[in-house]
Structure 1
């Protein structure tokens, strides 16, 4: 007995010392196994009956059994002529639970866990699960979270696996700073980043927590920002991330090397392909000498050159942009060299991960189909278009070798995300007052890429219903088909008469150029004026305008029209640039019993100055309604609200009945708006900025007259207002508070010194 005990101790404590000792067993017995067959254990041990084995081999056999991961403990004990293998199996996992978690739900945590109920418990897997849960808390900003796995033993060799979590507080981004930036302020650069400093709304803003992947994205965004503004050598040398001493906040510092700011010098197109005339491609070049250098502008030129080559029937043409420097003049000369490209074709496009979105919706973002020449630039642009859809949390597009040397396969892996929203709430407008609203929108209806939206709003003075459906790839082409249906009604709370209007309008839209788009439509509209206050014979103080009575006597009227809208916007297919332009113009032609032409136009320009901290904006807008058969009614004419002319109420300027004071609207209006937006001396993480504005314009021409009605302001009578604005970027949307004072007005105008709007550009 003493010899066997000594042998066991020596095998356990000092196997190397007994390496020369050998054993031979007439039999091998397995003890302690419940689920695992003895033959399986003997096979793992690799010891045959009667085989001579050393103490080292016995130790190796024990390690081999342990390596299977099936046993909590393994002992090999020689007992005379018998080798006893005593094992204790790992228990099965009866239940997996989480305790102490509040910010991350059980369902979300369960996705991270590799341990599975009713399978064998693995401490290694439990450790991996613990690390995954802890990392999820780090990514949510809770760097101090502590996760501990615990097992509760149950009958039948089973355990409950419980992850005990102490979440701790959120470690926010307390400060983002920059080193080496001379051309732009810290405030401007912070606006480029996805990460935000923690501020007043930290409880509902998700971007004020530290996420490593988001900081990596910020590094690229910062580099792109600089290079798109002429800093060709700009680089983010490093990003220093440190925790405060209390470990409750992060301090992030971006180390920037700006370099010199360059402009484009000479721009030429050359060709090494004999049959290609470079002069044909010069018309596709938009880069001009003296323009601030931007790689985006070069990429756009290359895309246009390649597209023109395809239209000319030239395949496998590659554009090599060759840049030479003029260091003294700080110029970059560009040579677009047309060279032969590799003769590689697209074998197929494989799409995975789209459980809801149809394959054709993703394929529609490719200008390339199977069998086309492979163009890496086009594939990258297609990937960007897929990401821009907003249907996917992640979209990865990669090319890999195909079945032959001249073939490639395009792999598209997407991860879908929610694309719909349903909301109920209260809305407030300075023009219409408070209203209860309900809205539903879906950007990927039935996975077909279609947009569906409807809104219902009911307030003290008006009721509205809007329905919109858009098919972006009508007839499998870049043709957007839509249908709009709307209903609106007002009551006597806001005027001395009620109005109702119903409009149904199908439309088609398509691009005319890189940044220009045309939309054509048909509209059927029904309008009615009812419940006009008072009687024609009443005193003026007790009735509506006689002009309103005349228009109401016509009853409900159907109008049919066709029209178009052309829009041009430099922000299309472009990243954030310091200067942008927008233009919109359209006409609507009425036909049938009422014929008219309704023309409207808007032109706007915006630029950033003083290190892009200050924004200057100018807008000119106008419209004319001209009836050739019939006449306009109050439901057709223009009324200017605070979104067009600040400082006055809706209907506060323009033609008015001198006796009753009713606003009659106008058939023509023109407004010019000048404004600036600038930072305020408050922490920018609060999302607050200041502004100032001046508006100048007028609304005029009712288009009818009565001998017994005097119309004020029927001719062009200028108005002007000025004021200050407060911009506030909130999780509910960008709000704008305007404090206005009229500079030029008439005694009968209705002034509005304060209004709240949703802040929009252009």
Structure 2
């Protein structure tokens, strides 16, 4: 037995020595040459650069496995084989094909361009099965957002010469799954019907073919939950929670049923709001008045956020840009009330070290920097950063604007990084519109908002209708002479036919202006206009009876305005007022002084789709050593005072409604209107309005042979009406009905107006 175990030990030692010797022998093997075969497009040098082994490297299994992983990782190769013979390494590769063409068949819901953007595959890209699988998944997810959960996609690969392939996705879009039912559990305070108005998902209805809100979209459920939280949090339910949200396919597969499981919780009131400050030398500001919440109001998270924002803005304006406000809630469960404490702390003082701008491949840096209200070295100010971001967005040059803050090289410094994504700023538009005033009209325009990347605006426009023919070309230069000054120059040729006044006015000339903004958001504009104005008298068929031969009008204008409206075209909040003065008499044939004062105010009720608008204007024109001609007088009616024709109010040649309007030297007009979508499905984009318009036109300094004195009165006109506005895919559609409830016998009326506009 002893001899047996001794034999075993000796044999084991010999085997260990043998394997050690082999390992040492292999470790001493060096790669003498690397041969690459099978590559058609990728050259040898590129392949060698991908791998970590080279001639002279040690030949080990670990090195060979690593080289295989490195080559597969590039995505260039379908197969890779490595062999060794007498220290010569041979790498045999088979390259992946290249995409020659990407196509789609059977897609009706989405255009090819949209699908191409979604899958992120491009011509001449490396083809692989993994990329195709990822592309199929992306397309299926896209169709799910439109309620199509049965979409099937079959990829077809056509092999071509030279390791190239055509890839075609055959798409069966499948049926459209709509939302058949929406239900809520746990809502004791608000009804299902009320909550259905809040969320973006809608039950299917026959008229919802114009929207996609009734198409089931799982991602939309999260938006719906957010909408519900906002709704409850603004009505005192501070502990509201969405416990569950889910959509299930109905057993008959006719659509989806959506369920929301809610926990409303108690409703809390604000019992008191206190302000505690640790800021030194804090100015005497009544912060409590900046919070739009009264004691014993229901808790409202939006009003609280607005109050905190108001305090932050007030502190920033006073030079306390680094203050922080932290709300503290003391909840009294027994009385369902909240004692709110707002703690104002000094915060950490930071300064701007660098302002970095990226992504502006076309727009000059200077164009962006001049919109930033901070410079390097300024104190960090979030309010100014937000305003700067808004200014850059309002340029309209960029698809996306992202502003990020990152630490600087020192603890009290920060870098402001602004990344922009350029978008097309040129616009070619063709418009077709119809209204009861202008009837059919067409518009054609070419404009460039960012000419040569310098922020200049160039335009060319042509507008034609039965009553108007307008041509204009112009250039606008913001920050003229590198100052807060906007300059513009325009050429124009306009023709206006006013059948109510039996006249046609032709004007040809140019205008130039310079404007600048000043403190408190005021804007000043100076302008000069030189034009030749010809007035033609027309018969009942709009044929020319006579002409004044044309007169030269040389005028200097000034306008001061302030505009805080959230939207110039369809405002919901803010105000606007402007005073315009025009002096004609710098040479030329016409001498007068004209003044027009305009103002408007809009208010949107919190959490209610109701907007109140009030507007008014007053105008006066006075001749300088001469009477005011008919061409230069004011005319009133139409869209300023609805219910009347375009020149339906004011003095006329005779005391009857069929006589021609002669205009007036004075006028005023106003409007009070309500606009809302209450009672109408929000996803349709339809809003209703009720309004009352009023105004008057008077004052003719002309011979009594040219007008009826009895029609030159200051009598007030009033109309009342209603209307609908629908934002359709082909443009805004407006219907307005107005009835003149206070009028004169010689006024011309227009009860209904319809307008359809489109730009494409």
The answer to whether TM tops 0.5 is: yes
Give the counterpart of 2:623 among 613, 624, 627: 627
CA contact (8 A) 1:353 1:416 kept: yes
> 1:299 — aligned with what?
309
SS, match of residue 414 in structure 1: strand
The CA deviation at 1:607 is 4.1
Contact 1:434 1:460 in 2 (8 A): yes
Q: CA–CA distance in 2 between the matches of 1:521 and 1:647?
A: 35
* Match status 1:560 vs 2:546: no
Q: Is the 8 A contact 1:98 1:162 kept in 2?
A: yes
- Aligned residue for 1:109? 116
CA distance in 1, matches of 2:606, 2:705: 58
Does the residue aligned with 1:124 lie in a helix, a strand or coil? helix
Residues 1:95 and 2:93 aligned together: no
Within a 5 Å distance, the mapping from 1:558-637 to structure 2 comes to 558-569=553-564, 571=566, 580-592=574-586, 594-608=590-604, 612-637=608-633
Partner Cα distance (1:694, 1:357) in 2: 46
Counterpart in the other structure of 1:737: 735
Shift of 1:358: 1.7
- Contact 1:499–1:527 (CA<8 Å) still a contact in 2? no
1:14 counterpart residue number: none
SS at match of 1:341: coil
Q: Deviations over 1:502-540 (max 9, x none)?
A: 4644334444455x4223222325353444247xxxxxx
* 1:213-612 matches, cutoff 5 A: 233=238, 237=242, 240=245, 242=247, 244-245=249-250, 246=253, 272-273=279-280, 276=281, 278-279=283-284, 290=294, 293-309=303-319, 318-323=322-327, 337=344, 339=346, 341-342=348-349, 344-467=350-473, 469-491=475-497, 495-502=501-508, 504-514=510-520, 516-526=521-531, 528-533=533-538, 553=548, 555-569=550-564, 571=566, 580-592=574-586, 594-608=590-604, 612=608
- Superposed CA offset, 1:444-489 (max 9, x none): 3332333333421122232112445443433444444344554321
With over 3 angstroms needed to count, the CA separation of the structure-2 counterparts of 1:700 and 1:172, relative to structure 1, is farther
Runs of 5+ in structure 1 lacking a partner?
1-21, 310-315, 535-540
Q: 1:728 to 1:417 in 2, by over 3 A?
A: same
Q: Is the CA contact 2:275–2:287 (under 8 Å) kept in the aligned structure 1?
A: no
In structure 2, distance between residues paired with 1:389 and 1:254? 44
- Contact 2:664-2:699 at 8 Å conserved across structures: yes
Q: Corresponding residue for 1:12?
A: none
Distance across 2 between alignment mates of 1:175 and 1:542: 59
On the 8 A contact 1:671/1:698 being kept in 2, the answer is yes
CA–CA separation in structure 1 for the residues paired with 2:244 and 2:493: 54
- What secondary structure is seen at the aligned counterpart in 1 of 2:318? helix
Q: Distance in 2 between matches of 1:726 and 1:419?
A: 32
* 1:537 match: none
Q: Confirm or deny that 1:34 pairs with 2:72.
A: no
| Alpha-carbon distance, 1:755 to partner | 0.6
Per-residue Cα deviation, 1:550-584 (whole angstroms, up to 9, x for no partner)? xx6584131413222323435489x997x654444
User: CA 1:602–1:45 in structure 2 vs 1: closer, same or farther (change >3 Å)?
Assistant: closer
**Per the alignment, in what secondary structure is the counterpart of residue 299 of structure 1?**
helix
Task: Call closer, same or farther: CA 1:155–1:595 in 2, change over 3 Å.
Answer: closer
Post-superposition offset of 1:645: 0.7
C-alpha separation between the residues in 2 aligned to 1:407 and 1:111? Answer: 40
**Whole-angstrom CA distance in 2 between matches of 1:723 and 1:331:** 46
Q: Give 1:255 shift.
A: 6.9
Q: Which moved more, 1:253-262 or 1:588-597?
A: 253-262
Q: Is the 8 A contact 1:623 1:670 kept in 2?
A: yes
CA gap of 1:634–1:325, structure 2 versus 1, over 3 A, is farther
Determine the C-alpha separation between the residues in 1 that align with 2:213 and 2:435: 29
Partner of 1:312: none
Query: For the residues of structure 2 that align with 1:77 and 1:628, how far apart are their CA atoms?
Result: 103
CA contact (8 A) 1:232 1:262 kept: no
> Structure 1 pair 497/597, CA: closer, same or farther in 2 (3 Å)?
closer
Which of the numbers 616, 637, 655 marks the counterpart of 1:641?
A: 637
Q: Is the aligned partner of 1:655 residue 2:651?
A: yes
Maintained 8 Å contact 1:643/1:757 = no
- Cα 1:740–1:302 shift into 2, 3 Å: same
Deviation at 1:132, TM superposition (A): 4.5
SS of alignment partner, residue 629 of structure 1: coil
Inter-partner Cα distance in structure 1 for 2:125 and 2:615: 68
Shift of 1:650: 0.9
Instruction: Give a deviation string over 1:64-98, Cα, whole Å, max 9, x none.
Output: 6995666655789999x999999672443262432
User: Are the counterparts in 2 of residues 27 and 83 from structure 1 also a CA contact under 8 Å?
Assistant: no
Q: 1:102-124 CA distances to partner (integer Å, 9 max, x unpaired)?
A: 634369727844577385x5433
Alignment of 1:665-704 (within 5 A): 665-679=663-677, 683-704=681-702
Residue 644 of structure 1, CA deviation: 0.8
| Displacement of 1:754 | 0.7
Distance in 2 between residues matched to 1:689 and 1:619, nearest whole Å: 19
Matched-pair contact (CA < 8 Å) for 1:567–1:585: no
Q: C-alpha displacement at 1:712, in angstroms?
A: 3.9
Q: 1:170 to 1:253 in 2, by over 3 A?
A: farther
Q: Structure 2-normalised TM-score?
A: 0.74
C-alpha distance in 2 between matches for 1:74 and 1:490: 78
SS of the equivalent of 2:688 reads strand
CA distance in 1 between counterparts of 2:728 and 2:693 reads 26
Look up the SS of the partner of 1:109 in the other structure: helix
Conserved? CA contact 1:150–1:164, under 8 Å: yes
| Rounded Cα–Cα distance in structure 1 between residues aligned with 2:664 and 2:445 | 32
Instruction: Quote the Cα distance in structure 1 between the aligned partners of 2:732 and 2:237.
Output: 33
Q: Which residue of 2 aligns with 1:16?
A: none
Deviation per CA, 1:716-760: give whole Å up to 9, x if none: 12222222312222234433211222222222222112112589x
Q: Return the match for 2:719 from 715, 718, 721.
A: 721
Q: Deviations over 1:37-79 (max 9, x none)?
A: 89979x9999x999999xxx99979986995666655789999
Q: Supply the RMSD in Å over aligned alpha carbons.
A: 5.4
Q: 1:185 to 1:619 in 2, by over 3 A?
A: farther
2:176–2:215 CA contact under 8 A, matched in 1: yes
2 CA distance for matches of 1:474 and 1:176?
Answer: 59
Q: How many Å apart are 1:610 and its aligned residue? A: 10
Secondary structure, counterpart of 2:322 in structure 1: strand
Work out the CA distance in 1 between the residues paired with 2:649 and 2:445: 32
Unaligned runs of 5+ residues in structure 2 are 1-21
Structure 2 partner of 1:754: 752
- Return the alpha-carbon distance in structure 2 between the equivalents of residues 377 and 492 of structure 1: 50
Take 1:144 and 1:282, find their aligned partners in 2: how far apart are those partners? 61
In the alignment of these two chains, the number of paired residues is 706
Task: Compute the displacement of 1:363 (Å).
Answer: 1.8
Q: CA deviation at 1:708?
A: 7.3
Quick one: distance in 1 between partners of 2:637 and 2:112? Answer: 46
Q: Could you tell me whether the CA contact under 8 Å between 1:598 and 1:624 is conserved in 2?
A: yes
TM-fit CA distance, 1:619 = 3.0
CA contact (8 A) 1:722 1:741 kept: yes
- Alpha-carbon distance change, 522 to 94 in structure 1, aligned in 2, over 3 angstroms: closer
Which position in structure 2 is the counterpart of 1:11?
Answer: none
Deviations 1:224-264 (A, max 9, x none): 7887x786959885894647555988969797969868789
Q: 3-state SS of the aligned residue for 2:366?
A: helix
Q: CA deviation at 1:349?
A: 1.8
CA contact (8 A) 2:582 2:595 kept: yes
Q: 1:64, 1:324 → 2: CA distance?
A: 56
Contact 2:609–2:678 under 8 Å retained in 1: no
CA distance in 2, matches of 1:544, 1:51: 100
Contact 2:30 2:57 in 1 (8 A): yes
